[in-house]
Amino acid sequence: MVKIGNIELGDFPLLLAPMEDVSDPPFRAVCKQQGVDMMYTEFISSEALIRNAESSMQKLDIYDYERPIGIQIFGENIESMREAATIAENAQPELIDINYGCPVKKVACKGAGAGILLDIPKMERMTREIVNQVQLPVTVKTRLGWDDNTIQIQEVALRLQDAGIKALTIHGRTRKQMYKGVADWNPIADVKNHPDIEIPIFGNGDIDSPEKALVYKDKYGVDGIMIGRAAIGYPWIFRDIKHYFATGEILPEPTLSERIDVVKKHLNFSLEWKGNKTGIFEMRRHYANYFRGIAHFKPYRSQLVQLEDTQALFDLLDEIGETFSVVSDL
């Protein structure tokens, strides 16, 4: 049984990565319905939280059906991160997660996210301060290093564990790689196999199929897997992996009817959470991913991202279901 503090996550948990502009409550809801074990909010700026910025405060929204869930925060100032951790704790998640992995220039080049990998002593101090600030378990998500010349992930893991974190997720790329190239899980395995590591170690990067999930599980010995981009437009990835682990059977792709059903659920959650105008707008980024691989779908995709009336959207989804009876080229 994998545990983060007192949170029980099963024998080999599947985690949904915190993705900016993706991992909001509507997206998390459909992933939860497909079997994900643990989820995180989008990463939230500590400075924005302590300023009470509306958009950041809304990212604290969590619902009982999402649990267990962690709120992820990022920032470069230790005092601001301490204050933000308290604000996040008051939203009553199961844990607080610190982002030490975001590679985006506007974050990393200010010393936040993956930028703190250039100052490991500061990373340790910040982590210890946050752990001491809150009562909830604190976890971290990070990368292998800033670049190939600064990979010190074993030292990082040991220092963060000593600072009091209860689990560590490692993305198998450096900040310099961004999301390019192949994720290297060998350093992740080295951390997991280190004799002094006692906390759960989760691997992240490039898991996009049940077969790969099983290979990486067996080869690298991690305690669980975090999945990000592969779940966008395909929340069934969690269901598929669990079924494959249990039976060795690859489930068929979801039918068009199943896809439309999940899109409708996702849209409904979006409308309920953000209201009609914003809910419709924010759902537009997902349609292409849900329906990718369907030949001659472009005209319908154009309509989906232009319609501003909720009933018209649902009517169009019904029309898509009647027009395309077979999902091809997946």
Helix crossing, 210-220 with 236-247: angle to 10°? Answer: 60
- Which residue is catalytic, options 36, 102, 108, 156? 102
Regarding beta strands 39-40 and 44-45, do their DSSP bridges make them parallel or antiparallel, or are they unpaired?
A: unpaired
Q: Which two tokens stand for residue 252?
A: 């068929």
Nearest CA to 172 out of 1, 17, 3 is that of 17
102 is catalytic: yes
Q: What is the dihedral of CA 235, 237, 243, 249, to 10 degrees?
A: 130
Contacts of 273 (CB under 8 A, 6+ apart): 24, 25, 26, 61, 279
Contact 74, 113 (CB under 8 A): yes
| Structure tokens given for 54 | 């509306």
- Measured in degrees and rounded to the nearest 5, phi and psi for residue 216 equal -70, -35
* Of residues 254, 222, 259, the one with CA closest to residue 240: 254
**Do 327 and 255 meet the contact criterion of CB atoms below 8 Å apart?**
yes
Q: Is the dihedral of CA 15, 79, 127, 124 positive or negative?
A: positive
Task: Give the C-alpha separation, 19 to 249, whole Å.
Answer: 29
For 62, residues 6+ apart whose C-beta sits below 8 A from its C-beta are 25, 41, 69, 71, 91, 92, 93
114 in Cβ contact with 103 (< 8 Å): yes
- Residues with active-site annotation: 102
